[in-house]
Amino acid sequence: MRNFHTYYHTGQDLEAVVSKVDDFDYSRIDAVRSFGDTHPKVMEELVKSLNWHVELDESKFKFNLKDSILYWFEKNFGYRLFEYKNYKII
């Protein structure tokens, strides 16, 4: 968030705004899995320097009935139903 706020604030204003910003609330995310792979070499320094400590409960999926059926279908068959694509694979 600090990088975003540097576009609009500088100096003491930046410090005041950044200190007010809370961490992102990940509790409202429907379904996400933790990234377990390795990052590209270009990104390793950036990822190490960032202060991201995210704790996700991967066992909880907050879906309504329609979304849970679509999620189940996509995970089992590898195809997302009713997805709009503005291109055709040739």
Kindly report, residue by residue over 26-63, the tens digit of the pLDDT: 667 777 777 788 888 998 888 888 777 777 777 777 78
CA 56 – CA 51 distance, rounded (Å)? 16
CA 33 – CA 57 distance, rounded (Å)? 9
The predicted model scores a pTM of 0.48
The confidence score (pLDDT) of residue 73 equals 95
Closest of 45, 1, 44 to residue 22, by C-alpha: 1
The confidence score (pLDDT) of residue 29 equals 74
The confidence score (pLDDT) of residue 5 equals 66
Indicate whether 21 pLDDT > 60.
no
Centre a 10 Å sphere on the Cβ of residue 74 and count the other Cβ atoms it contains. 13
